[in-house]
Amino acid sequence: MGILAALLSAFTSTAKDLVSKLLAGRVHPDVSTFASFFFALPFYLVVMAIAIASGQETLRVTGAFLGLVLIRGISDVCAEGCKMRALAYGDVSLVTGLLALSPLLLTVLSPVITGDPVSLKEGAAIGLVVLGGLLLIRRDRRAGGIVQPIAVLYAVGGSLAFALNSCFDRLAVEHGGPFLSAFAMTVCASALTAPFVVRRKGVVSEMRFNIRAFLLRGLFETIFMVAKMIALVTLPAHIVVGIMRMSMLLTVVVGGAMFKEEDRARRIIASAIMCVGLVLLVM
């Protein structure tokens, strides 16, 4: 059940990233970050109603749970904010691959934060993920610098924030149900990002003209988050993230073709190497 939930989360993550890239040229990154949380709330309300009515979820709230929700909300805002800015400055195939470095960071963070053990074999598998990630980044032979450096910087920062997210998710489901945890974290993230949006001019127009895309991404966000929280009930955080990041090869191939991005062959090879490492991690 945990593996199936993680796979579902992986595929909806790909769909979510492709919609985010489509929106990157239309709206400001701050608006896109807020919308990624806010437009998921209607779907979360439906999920919560069904879960409570069927007895799958109880409204059990503790002080520890609320504290984890707040910390996770802050890290989620940082993660989504970095990702939206990375997509605004760089190719989706590059950004998605670099975000897949989060399992590497989890091998360090998980034992410290959640207590989940990491074996030597898992560490070796993560090494392949790192190798693929390094291949994603190339230098411009004429200019001498890294291609799309701002996107690389934001993507690496987002990878660290997403790694922290998974640690806090793992702890939160130990204090509250998966549906309640996902819903509460999304409400918190919406509230934290709202002040950055209300001060912007033209935000209402941006919301109105892109409402269909925002709602579609909100649906994907809801499925992604709920499936991830269900997976975290039975699996360690770094294993769940490792499974989820397998979707990056699909994102690199489809996203690269959809947006006619350059250097696709190199990025596909790099992503394939990373996927091998992730498969070994899961096995």
Contact 35, 272 (CB under 8 A): no
- Maximum distance among all Cα pairs of the chain, rounded to whole angstroms: 62
CA atoms lying within 13 Å on the CB side of residue 9: 24
Contact 20, 32 (CB under 8 A): yes
pLDDT above 90: percentage of residues in the chain: 33
Averaged pLDDT score across all residues of the chain: 84
Given pLDDT bands bounded at 50, 70 and 90, which one contains residue 263? confident
pLDDT for 102 equals 75
pLDDT for 57 equals 78
- Check pLDDT > 60 for residue 199: yes
pLDDT for 266 equals 85
pLDDT above 70: percentage of residues in the chain: 92
Alpha carbons 200 and 218: distance in angstroms, whole number: 21
Given pLDDT bands bounded at 50, 70 and 90, which one contains residue 253? confident
pLDDT for 75 equals 92
Average pLDDT for residues 61-72, to the nearest whole number?
87
Average pLDDT for residues 62-74, to the nearest whole number?
88
pLDDT for 135 equals 78
Which pLDDT tens digit goes with each residue over 128-182? 777 787 777 776 566 556 788 899 999 999 988 988 887 888 788 778 778 888 8
pLDDT for 41 equals 96
Count of residues making up the chain? 283
Q: Which residue has better confidence, 111 or 31? A: 31
pLDDT for 16 equals 93
Which pLDDT tens digit goes with each residue over 200-216? 888 888 899 999 999 99
Neighbours of 259 (CB within 10 A): 15
DSSP-based three-state secondary structure for 119: coil
Neighbours of 64 (CB within 10 A): 13
Given pLDDT bands bounded at 50, 70 and 90, which one contains residue 226? confident
Contact 154, 82 (CB under 8 A): yes
Contact 41, 187 (CB under 8 A): yes
The pTM of the whole model exceeds 0.85: no
Q: If 0-12 CB within 10 Å is exposed, 13-18 middle and 19+ buried, where does residue 243 land?
A: buried
pLDDT for 113 equals 67
pLDDT for 140 equals 58
Average pLDDT for residues 41-68, to the nearest whole number?
88
